[in-house]
Structure 1
Amino acid sequence: MSIGGDAVIGSTYAELMPLFEADPETKAIAIYSEPGGRMEAELADWVRENRSRLPIVAFMAGRFMDEMPGMRFGHAGTIVEGKADTTADKIERMRAAGISVAERIEDIPALVKERLAKAGH
């Protein structure tokens, strides 16, 4: 499911988590994340507060943007606005919440498989 990364979106990861948690068909979640915004921080907070049953794997694109604060990039004019928006902070918060963060996009399938195995699936 794509929720987009523009300034105005329909739902955030955290808002969708109760739906994923309630769906017995959902076994894991993989997210592709980009710099800017606070959706990943909100997801990390939700996971910590609610102890998600679902393994979550994330990939953070655009890590280079931390070296260029204030510069706009990408299709939606992504801008890193503050510490909570940096890729490094997002990665740190997600990992602290138990979300696996892939170093490369091609690592996602192996991480999902590993997390599913640990969860008994």
Structure 2
Amino acid sequence: MSDPNQSLSTQDYAALEFQPWNPDKQLEEELSPANFKSFGEHCRLAYSLTLKTKEHLITASREFGEDEAIALLDALIFTSEQAMAFMEIIDTARIRLTSALSVIAMDGGEFSIEKRQAK
């Protein structure tokens, strides 16, 4: 897996400073198992839609009903927005853990961002 911050070295990551985020009740609710079930269902549905032709989607939308198809579109838009927010969380966590491991590496640990980038 490649790192989008390939220009950063172990030393660069080790030098990063950050503060913990404040707890966010709304975000914690969005990360609940029930919401992830819906998120996963929408992702699977989105994937299935990518396997269809335009003609098939037109026919299915007509048969399903325009209002229902628009509701599905709204759900996919919401899911897309959620995914982008989740990616920010995941990327922030990845950078912070890489920073911590880089400090350990500079103290003689085994981690090396340069070795990981070479994979």
Q: Normalization by structure 1: what TM-score?
A: 0.22
Q: Normalization by structure 2: what TM-score?
A: 0.22
Mark the structure with the bigger radius of gyration: 2
Higher fraction of strand: 1
Higher fraction of helix: 2
